[in-house]
Amino acid sequence: MRFQHFFIHFFILLFLFFIFTNSATVPTLLCLKCDKDFEKIKDEFIHLFDMKDVLGSSKLDFIKPAIKKIFTATFEVVIAKMEERRLDKIGISELAKEFRKTMKSIKDTKAKGTEFIKAIESNIQELKQKAEIIAQTFEQERSCPNLKGGFKCGVLEQKIIQCGTCKEQTLVCVGGSNEKKCDETVSNCLMCVCRAGVCHHRTTKQLCQPCTGYQKCLNEVLHCKDQDLRVAEGEDLKFDCNLKFLNLVDEKFEFVLEKREESGVSSTQTANKPNFLIAKAGKEVSGRYSCTAKAKDVMFPISRVDFTVKVVSPPEPEFLGSSVPSPAEKFKFKDIRLAKIMVITGTVTCLAITASIMTCICLLIRESHKEEEARAQKKQTVLEEVKISMDSEKSKPGTREKATQTDV
């Protein structure tokens, strides 16, 4: 009877679990199979029933093979929905991490039988919610980040993964204003990269013809920010070329800093990090600069920050060298010096008066002590004279005889 009760409840729960996971609400768990460790993850799910006494009784172990087959099919159902969803490598890694946390939570539970099945169902529901959050985070924050968070600039070819096929695709993200149609122009001609007037296809490296107005539109689209830098002559000049959306893209960049003159580019620096420094800047450093982030694999421009640099003379020290202060400054200086002298004089006078008073008090105390010592010494002398007088009276003969007769 107990076996039948468990068996009925078990398959009712499993049936409901299967139906629920087969509904249209299953989110991006399909992307889980795009993880490099997918087969290990799958085995972790299927072999949950390999644990000892997980069914509540060793007599029920004979149904484990059937349960494992059902769970294998269930796992496939869990990840077989929403094939149109996409994720980047970061999202797929987060998804696999959350799945392993779920499996650990199920393994750590001490429930058995139907309670164990309920624990699995509860944890899988929580996992699906987390998977949906991971997908939404990618779509709202990391998908084309150059068009979010106040930015609408730059050109990104973002690498993403189609969950249905696990194939890597390219998502083109072009900023700019739709009114001027530059984003469309750059999107349509993106594979034709021009340098020094020569244009090549990005992948085939063959000569190509860019779209009309492509270079002008590309310059407009790449421009993300203007910044004014003001530094004193002789100080270090620092450039920060970083943009927040560059940190959200799984790609390596190279940063190129150029000084632009009317005749063209006068100097160029390159770095793997978005920071540049010109030590002890001189007046000749002043001018306009542009810092371009480029995809390191093909050196295609991604974004640009423009700088206007002004190097100014350092502030002159006060009253140094041959400079002569004005009459007003002289008068002010005299007043300050006179005030300082008066303060110092007053302080010295107060200290002198205080010292005199303390000296007088000390002398009075000293004289008082001397008078007390003299009175004490005089009193001692009188006492000694009285004692001597009494002793001399006792030593007279008549007094001794009189004292003897009195005794008899």
> For 267-298, how does the pLDDT look when each residue is reduced to its tens digit (9 = 90+)?
789 999 999 999 999 999 999 999 999 988 77
Question: Which pLDDT value is given to residue 274?
Answer: 93
Are 157 and 169 in contact by the 8 Å Cβ rule? The answer is no
| 313-343 as b/e: b if 16+ CB within 10 A | eeeeeeeeeeeeeeeeeeeeeeeeeeeeeee
Question: Considering the domain 158-312 in this protein, what is its CATH number?
Answer: 2.60.40.10
Which range is most confident: 4-8, 138-142, 390-394? 138-142
Question: Which pLDDT value is given to residue 289?
Answer: 96
CA separation, residue 386 to residues 377, 378, 380, 389, 398 (Å): 15, 13, 10, 5, 21
Locate CATH 2.60.40.10 in the chain. 158-312
pLDDT in tens, 197-256: 788 887 777 888 878 888 888 888 999 999 999 999 999 999 999 999 998 887 889 999
Question: Which pLDDT value is given to residue 83?
Answer: 56
Question: Which pLDDT value is given to residue 28?
Answer: 59
For the whole model, what pTM was predicted?
0.60
Tell me, what DSSP letter sits at residue 355?
A: H
| Crossing angle (nearest 10°) for helices 114-137 and 2-21 | 10
Is the pLDDT at 65 greater than 70? The verdict is no
Band of the pLDDT at 323, cuts 50, 70, 90?
Answer: low
Which position has the higher pLDDT, 384 or 106? Answer: 106
pLDDT in tens, 354-375: 877 888 888 888 777 777 777 7
Range of weakest confidence among 42-46, 107-111, 172-176: 42-46
For the beta sheet containing 155-162, the strands, ordered from the edge strand earlier in sequence to the opposite edge, are 86-87, 155-162, 168-174
